[in-house]
Structure 1
Amino acid sequence: MTKKIKLRFDAGQSLNPEGKHVRDGLSTGLRTGDNLWLSCDERTTIERLTYHSDGSFGDHQSFDLRDYLELPDGDNSEVDIEGMGTTDNYIWIIGSHSLKRKKPRSHDSVEKQMKRLSKVQNDPNRYLLARIPFLLNEETGQYELHKQCEHPEWPGYMLRAAQLHGDKTSSLLTDVLQQDEHISPFLSIPGKDNGFDVEGLTTSGERIFIGLRGPVLRGWAIILEVETEEDDKGQLHLKQLTEKRPYKKHFLHLKGKGIRELRIFGEDMYILAGPTMDQDGVIAIYRWPNALVQTEQECMVHTKELERLCEVPHGSGADSGKDKAEGLAIFDEKHALVVFDSPVDARKAENNAVLADLIQLVK
């Protein structure tokens, strides 16, 4: 069963420098208490909304990541945020780490269209894996971001924003993946071409799970698991998780679909999965039972070990390329909230608002 929930944004905080509205590019969703955190894939900000008694979310507040982190390219390029998670008084944020191919424009000559299709671009800010202190203000009931603050339960212990070392062309994560037998061939391929493309992050304690939209290998999607440690200068590094690598790999047979979002609830993991390439196709939500136990070791998860809970609507026909489910938030014990990139006009209920889907997952 699906219901609609209205998300209201503030007009003064909703447009990026190119004039794109935040509601038109939602890429991830995360609920913490009365707050819903969202990101748009063409900004350097994350957005906080607050739950209202009428069942909607509003009171939009935008937070610029440049106030907390050192973005490699400042405000000159998007972060393409594709995942957020919270643990131990931090909110974690990850960029897509992907290359992008230029789109042909139908009004151009054939020669120009072919030339654009040959060009591959790199957005330097996409190579981001970072954490920001994240505390509940007991007076306002709002979760707030800090560049540095004292731990709420451990006097004298400071929490501080930090990020995995990276530059304009790579990060420590992509550096170590250059030697990976499954992933390395895809690092130089644009995300929408089944190349390396992060779309999803969830956390449990020190464990960080990173979902890949691509590559998908013979129908198998990939989840990377990492943990970080901080040096004396506040820089994050990857811990050694296996005998050979500072990460684990978990393969899930999603019948050709890539991962668009990950969420942990209890011991289970919920997965929003859809086409890896730039095409229309089935988008569905899966439950991976006891995922936290199984992932203590690297694993291969066959289709029969996953519960396919439901399909999520997507644009087709005249709306092809629209209503692409990108973000999955755990709303409560029985429901998930799904937000969409490129929403159809019917979702734009009023100026500066958009409708998300509230989907019942547990009867």
Structure 2
Amino acid sequence: MSDKIILRFKNELSIANDKHVRDGLSAALRTENNLWLSCDERTTLERLSLQEDGSFADHTSFELAKYLELPAKDKSEIDIEGIGMANSYLWIIGSHSLKRKKPKRHQSIKKQMQRLAEVASDPNRYVLARIPIIKNEQNGHYELHKEAEDPKKPGHTLRAAQLRGDTTSSLLTEVLEQDEHLGPFISIPGKDNGFDIEGLATHGSKIYLGLRGPVLRGWAVILEVEVEEDEEGTLHLKKLTSEHYYKKHFLNLRGKGIRELRVFGDDLYILAGPTMDLDGVIAIYRWPGALVGRSEHMVHHNELERLYEVPHGTGANSGKDKAEGLAVFDEKHVLVVFDSPTDERKIGEDSVEALVIKVVD
């Protein structure tokens, strides 16, 4: 069962590179009456607030270059594909993926083929970062800060920080280059079943990263990492096993990659869909007890609960209504936002419909 909910943006905050933020929603997170959203072609986070009519509006945009040392400042997209919150920090992850150029029909055959051979990287995509997020008790809104006093530990300062990285890699991709499963895919563009992060969830000190690709013989991958901060404020990966600075969890999603992750109790909600650039089934799963235990997992298909199949564009709407973001809405519902929404999903010049889906009876 699902219901529609309206997200209302401000036009003056929403247009970048001729694209409206509502046309590229890629991640969602609810913090009480605030809904945080990202657009995959920007370097900003958008905050909406719950209204009396049940919609989310009162749009505020936060430029992340003010809080983080982005390699290309605000001149290159971060391709934010996951946001989470833990211990008064908002966490964000860029896709860490390469992209292959698209052929353009008006060009010559030779030029179109040449574009298909060109692989590029956006320098801001290699970001795993945290930003202090504090509730303003006067207006009830959560706000981002470069530094702030920890509300739970008086005298302790929270500060924005990020994993060491540059314009072509991060510490995460560097350690994964040697991985027996993922290493061969680091240099392959995301839309070609290459390495592509599209989900982030937090639980205490643990950070879970969902991979849209690669999918290996039908099995999707969740990476589990933890970080520690050095004296200069740079984040480093903690060693989690005798061999690796991460743990790998494999899930048999029958060929689907991971689009988003969300923690709910001891479980993980998983939004899953095609890893390649195509239309296909998009569904929400529950991995029961995902956060219990310390070992790496092989999760077979019958150990996952399939909760809901999310509608997607087909036919004349092929390539549209791609579910990308998943937020825990309340104890029984999740909220789903869409990349490339259909015209039917758009309202006026600046609003769009999201879905609220019941996943708990």
Calculate the TM-score normalised by the size of structure 2: 0.99
Alignment-derived partner of residue 5 in structure 2: 5
Q: Show the 5 A alignment for 1:242-261.
A: 242-261=241-260
Alignment-derived partner of residue 309 in structure 1: 307
Letter in 1 for 2:13: Q
**Partners in 2 of 1:322 and 1:274 — Cα distance?**
13
Secondary structure in structure 2 of the residue aligned to 1:112 = helix
1:108-159 CA-to-partner distances (Å, cap 9, x unmatched) read: 2211111111110110100000000001111100000000011113221100
CA-CA distance at 1:350 after TM superposition: 1.6
Alignment-derived partner of residue 321 in structure 1: 319
Percent of aligned pairs with the same residue?
Answer: 68
Secondary structure in structure 2 of the residue aligned to 1:281 = coil
**Partners in 2 of 1:152 and 1:75 — Cα distance?**
30
RMSD: 0.6
Alignment-derived partner of residue 346 in structure 2: 348
**Partners in 2 of 1:339 and 1:76 — Cα distance?**
25
Secondary structure in structure 1 of the residue aligned to 2:54 = coil
Letter in 2 for 1:201: L
1:152-173 CA-to-partner distances (Å, cap 9, x unmatched) read: 1322110000000000010000
Alignment-derived partner of residue 200 in structure 1: 199
Letter in 2 for 1:3: D
CA-CA distance at 1:181 after TM superposition: 0.2
1:89-120 CA-to-partner distances (Å, cap 9, x unmatched) read: 00000000000000111122211111111110
Alignment-derived partner of residue 336 in structure 1: 334
**Partners in 2 of 1:132 and 1:93 — Cα distance?**
8
Alignment-derived partner of residue 267 in structure 1: 266
**5+ residue gaps, structure 2:** none
Alignment-derived partner of residue 163 in structure 1: 162
Secondary structure in structure 2 of the residue aligned to 1:174 = helix
Letter in 2 for 1:9: F
Alignment-derived partner of residue 31 in structure 1: 30
1:193-223 CA-to-partner distances (Å, cap 9, x unmatched) read: 0000000000000000000000000000000
**Partners in 2 of 1:100 and 1:93 — Cα distance?**
20
Alignment-derived partner of residue 233 in structure 1: 232
**Partners in 1 of 2:271 and 2:111 — Cα distance?**
36
**5+ residue gaps, structure 1:** none
Alignment-derived partner of residue 82 in structure 1: 81
Letter in 2 for 1:237: H
Q: Show the 5 A alignment for 1:97-108.
A: 97-108=96-107
**Partners in 1 of 2:313 and 2:98 — Cα distance?**
25
Letter in 1 for 2:4: K
CA-CA distance at 1:339 after TM superposition: 0.2
Secondary structure in structure 1 of the residue aligned to 2:36 = strand
**Partners in 2 of 1:145 and 1:70 — Cα distance?**
15
CA-CA distance at 1:316 after TM superposition: 0.5
**Partners in 1 of 2:117 and 2:74 — Cα distance?**
26
**Partners in 1 of 2:338 and 2:260 — Cα distance?**
12
Letter in 1 for 2:9: F
The count of corresponding residues between Structure 1 and Structure 2 is: 361
**Partners in 2 of 1:250 and 1:54 — Cα distance?**
41
Alignment-derived partner of residue 208 in structure 2: 209
Q: Show the 5 A alignment for 1:134-173.
A: 134-173=133-172
Secondary structure in structure 2 of the residue aligned to 1:13 = helix
Alignment-derived partner of residue 72 in structure 2: 73
CA-CA distance at 1:175 after TM superposition: 0.5
Letter in 2 for 1:51: L
Secondary structure in structure 2 of the residue aligned to 1:4 = strand
1:293-343 CA-to-partner distances (Å, cap 9, x unmatched) read: 04x110100000000011001001010000000000000011110000000
Alignment-derived partner of residue 297 in structure 1: 295
Letter in 2 for 1:208: I
CA-CA distance at 1:19 after TM superposition: 1.4
**Partners in 2 of 1:290 and 1:154 — Cα distance?**
30
Secondary structure in structure 2 of the residue aligned to 1:192 = helix
**Partners in 2 of 1:311 and 1:217 — Cα distance?**
22
CA-CA distance at 1:286 after TM superposition: 0.1
